[in-house]
Amino acid sequence: MKLNEVLKSKQFVLIDFQSDDCPPCKLIRRELEKVSTQLGDELKVFLVDQKEQLEVFKAFNVQSLPHLKLFKNGRPLWSNSGLISSEEILEVINKIR
C-alpha cells in the first residue's frame, strides 16, 4: 500500500519517520506496538525509513528523529518529535476521537 492511499484512510494513520541507526527510533517502535495492539483496526502505523524514503521526509519537512505524524481522512491532526510513551499517544488519540 502506498503512502498516499494510507493517508486517505478513514481510520487513524500514524506515520513513524525513523531510521535503523537511530536508538530512540527503536525505543519508540516498542511504544507504537503497544498503541497498535490497544487500538487494533482503528489505527494503521506506517513506517517511513530515512535512508529508503528520503523524498517522503522532505515532503513532510521532517527535521529530527524520531518523528510521528497522525492523520485521519487525509487531514494532519498531530505531530511529535522525540520520544513519547504509548500512554501519551493514546491520550492524544482519545482526545481527538
What tens digit of pLDDT does each residue of 42-71 get?
A: 999 999 999 999 999 999 999 999 999 999
DSSP β-bridge partners for residue 49: 18
Q: How many domains does the chain have?
A: 1
Q: Residue 1 — very low, low, confident or very high, per pLDDT cuts 50/70/90?
A: low
Range of the domain at 85: 3-96
Q: How far apart are CA 30 and CA 25, in angstroms?
A: 9
What is the per-residue pLDDT for 7? 76
Please check the confidence at residue 3 and state whether its pLDDT lies above 70. yes
| pTM given for the model | 0.92
Q: Residue 87 — very low, low, confident or very high, per pLDDT cuts 50/70/90?
A: very high
Domain CATH for 70: 3.40.30.10
What tens digit of pLDDT does each residue of 4-57 get?
A: 777 788 899 999 999 999 999 999 999 999 999 999 999 999 999 999 999 999
Q: How far apart are CA 10 and CA 31, in angstroms?
A: 23
